[in-house]
Amino acid sequence: MPRVDLSVDLGGMKLRSPLVTASGCFASGREMSEFIDLKKLGAIVVKSMTLKPWAGKATPRMAETSSGMLNAIGLQNKGVDHFLSTDLPWLTEQKVPVIASIAGNTTQEFMQVAERLRSAPIHAVEVNISCPNLEDRNNMFAHDPQSTSAVISAVRRMVDVPIFAKLSPNVTSLTAIAGAALEAGAAGLSLINTVMAMSIDVDSAMPKVAGVVGGLSGPAIKPIAVRAVFEVHQAYPHVPIIGMGGVMDARDVIEFVLAGASAVALGTVNFINPKAGHEILSDLGQFLSSRKVGSLAAMRGQVKVEG
Ligand SMILES: Cc1cc2nc3c(=O)[nH]c(=O)nc-3n(C[C@H](O)[C@H](O)[C@H](O)COP(=O)(O)O)c2cc1C
């Protein structure tokens, strides 16, 4: 079988695999390392961390729907200091690039988390702006260009590593939000976070998650995510994009790359098959070699559209 190059350049980071983990779907990798050799992943994007530990929402927090998974976890995490003292030293030993996902309820909080990460051995920061902004009637930062810009520029002042802004699909103009993030100093974009959704148990008439509404993930959202990556790539062709949303197999990865993704994150699939990162990587190699394509990176943005 001819050799296939699956490595990718993600905003200057050379990743040996195009597959990274989606934040919140792989914790910090410790549990998953029992199933999968972490070195085979391009990078680990850890669960979003906040300044202080967050307890998360009441249970139930997850529900299966007919075509995707609904979650309302509420960003439960042990805080940035726990990440620095416990998770990061372990991850550094695994010799896999680490992307630290950060979250907060105010611009100041994002800035404080970023400040703590300033001299940490991480490769990039992913800024999860799909959080309620307490200073703006709980509107998500990612739903407003000004709030997006404020958070990204605050984080930019604190860290030297590349910043990826993780955007929400629940907006009218994704390219406007993407533009605000890039202008404020994001080196790249992560697309997409979950799609706002709701599911009701008709026997009890209760919402299926205690948070009432939640985020939908999995195959149901893939076409929404592919559209998002395509639109943003068309608007900003030189900007690296981590594409995600419903990736289940190698063909899904190719779809995101054709739309314009530089790397692809695996989320919900990890809950179904913790070895997905290995299996999809091997299938990707076979897919490309059977079509005599030497490099995945060469397929980026190559969807054939007229005009
Ligand atoms: C249980 C769960 C927890 C998540 N937690 C986070 C999180 O902490 N930070 C974040 O940016 N995205 C979080 N996400 C969103 C995923 O990273 C990803 O953007 C989304 O699930 C779409 O990808 P998928 O369909 O492959 O899961 C979470 C998703 C799920 C299902």
Q: Is the pLDDT of residue 100 over 70?
A: yes
pLDDT per residue as tens digits for the range 108-123: 999 999 999 999 999 9
Q: Is the pLDDT of residue 152 over 70?
A: yes
Q: How far is the CA of 26 from the centre of ligand 1 (A)?
A: 9
Is 265 strand, coil or helix? strand
Q: Judge whether 134 and 106 are in contact, CB under 8 Å.
A: yes
Give the model's pLDDT for residue 67: 87
128 touches ligand 1 (CB under 6 Å): yes
- Residue among 103, 108, 119, 123 nearest 45 (CA): 123
Q: Is the pLDDT of residue 77 over 90?
A: yes
Quick one: which H or E segment has residue 68?
Answer: strand 68-71
246 touches ligand 1 (CB under 6 Å): yes
Give the model's pLDDT for residue 137: 86
Domains of the chain with CATH codes: 8-57+74-198+216-299 (3.20.20.70)
pLDDT band at 138 (very low <50, low <70, confident <90, very high): confident
- Residue among 275, 265, 277, 276 nearest 46 (CA): 265
pLDDT band at 306 (very low <50, low <70, confident <90, very high): confident
> In a mutational test of the pocket of ligand 1, which residue from 20, 21, 23 has the highest number of ligand atoms less than 8 Å from its CB?
23
> In a mutational test of the pocket of ligand 1, which residue from 193, 216, 252, 269 has the highest number of ligand atoms less than 8 Å from its CB?
193
Q: What residue owns the CA closest to ligand 1's atom 3?
A: 24
Q: Is the pLDDT of residue 25 over 80?
A: yes
| 43-52, 125-134, 172-181, 234-243: least confident range | 125-134
pLDDT band at 2 (very low <50, low <70, confident <90, very high): low
| Mean pLDDT to the nearest integer, 272-276 | 95
- Residue among 122, 130, 131, 49 nearest 92 (CA): 122
Residue 219 phi, psi (nearest 5): -50, -30
Alpha helices for the chain (secondary structure H): 80-82, 88-93, 107-116, 145-158, 174-183, 222-235, 250-259, 269-272, 276-290
Quick one: which H or E segment has residue 44?
Answer: strand 44-45
Q: How far is the CA of 289 from the centre of ligand 1 (A)?
A: 31
In angstroms, the CA 177 to CA 168 distance is 9
| Mean pLDDT to the nearest integer, 176-201 | 97
Q: Is the pLDDT of residue 93 over 90?
A: yes
3-state SS, 135-204, equals CCCCCEHHHCHHHHHHHHHHHHHHCCCCEEEECCCCCCCHHHHHHHHHHCCCCEEEECCCEEECCEECCC
Task: Give the global pTM.
Answer: 0.97
In angstroms, the CA 287 to CA 231 distance is 26
pLDDT per residue as tens digits for the range 249-269: 999 999 999 999 999 999 999
Q: Judge whether 259 and 304 are in contact, CB under 8 Å.
A: no
